[in-house]
Amino acid sequence: MSLAVPLPVALSLLLAILAPRAVRRTAPALAARGLVVAAVVTSGAYAACLLMLASTLMEDLLPLSTSDGGAGPIAAVAAVLLAWGLWRLAGDLAVRRGMRRRLRGVGRPRGSGLVVAEWDEPHALAVPGRPGHVLVTTGMLRALDAGERRAMLAHERAHLTRHHDRLVSWAAAAAAFDPFLASVRDEVAHQAERWADEEAAAVVGDRALVARAVTRAALAGHPPSPATSGTGGSGILHRVRALSHPAPDSERGIVLLLVLIAVAVAEVAVVAAAWLA
């Protein structure tokens, strides 16, 4: 029983470490979906384990309990993690809902599916809804030429038509409850960007054009004196590089994700068996 607490944490960490490597050469549409399923199943396993462990605490508190208090500190830790996770989950849902409402309220996309904001800061984002629209600033539009604008609009429309907001929301909810999954959430967001890049490249028929649009948009608002130097690691360079190669189509990474999902399910079974025993 005492092994039951480290198990879900270990699985979450394993997923967090392996997931980005696993999907490195996987097609982004498959990678994003696979990662979301793995994250949701893993956080579900984490929740189930915490719930079972915490419930032994309740038994201890009952005067008629037959258990003689072996669960003590482990159950307490599980209960705290459970409460903390639920608190974070509620916060994440509230922030996202509020954000979506405020972005929808920015303007109505009459006739064009596009809302333009007169603002120098370069932003372009997809505002989900029925049917959803694109919100873009003049700062972004003026940083791009006509072809790049077309690539950017196709990218944002891909987010809408492929419902990337749902994928990212599921991953964010999983990571809110199970904080060890934060890097998986970020990888899902990155894969959604890659996916939209690939869709935009298919629409405009020019991978280099999309790469140029991404690069120029990233540099917009960054004056030539770079105080921004760092060690790389951002998704932008990866996106640009990926666009300079043919579209990826490997399905290898998904096998590893499937194994992790199976492990998560098995883990719940193990803890459940220990709990019922």
Partner 1 sequence: MRGHRAHGALAAEVVAALAAAEAPLSPAEVQAALGSELGEDKVQATLVRLWEIGVVARRPVEGRGHVYWPMRDAAADAASRMRTALAGRRPKRAALRQFVTSLRGVDADRLRALLVRLRS
Q: What angle do CA 12, 191, 28 make, to 5 degrees?
A: 110
Residue 150 touches partner 1, criterion: CB under 8 A: yes
Question: CB 277 → partner 1: shortest distance, Å?
Answer: 42
Minimal CA–CA distance to 92: which of 146, 157, 30, 43?
A: 43
Instruction: Answer for the pair 28, 194: CB distance below 8 angstroms, yes or no.
Output: yes
Site for partner 1 in 239-258 (CB under 8 A): 240, 244
Question: What would the 3-class secondary structure string for 106-118 be?
Answer: CCCCCCCCEEEEC
Report, in Å, the least distance between residue 187 CB and partner 1: 14
Distance CA 181, CA 14 (A): 9
Window 13-32: residues binding partner 1 (CB under 8 A): none
128 belongs to the binding site for partner 1 (CB under 8 A): yes
| Nearest partner of 50 among 30, 77, 23, 22, judged by Cα | 77
Closest separation in Å from C-beta 115 to partner 1: 6
Contact with partner 1 (CB under 8 A) among 58, 80, 90, 99: 99
Contact indicator for 171, 140 with CB cutoff of 8 Å? no
- Considering the rule CB under 8 A, would residue 206 count as an interface residue with partner 1? yes
Q: CB atoms < 10 A from the CB of 272, how many?
A: 14
- Asked if 191 interacts with partner 1 (CB under 8 A), we say no
Is 157 one of the binding residues for partner 1 (CB under 8 A)? yes
Figure out which of the listed residues 233, 249, 276, 277 binds partner 1, where binding follows CB under 8 A: 233
Q: Is 192 in the site for partner 1 (CB under 8 A)?
A: yes
Of 107-126, which residues contact partner 1 (CB under 8 A)? 107, 110-119, 122-126
Q: With respect to partner 1, which residue has the nearer C-beta, 44 or 235?
A: 235
- Shortest distance in whole angstroms from residue 166 CB to partner 1: 11
CB atoms within 10 A of CB 71: 20
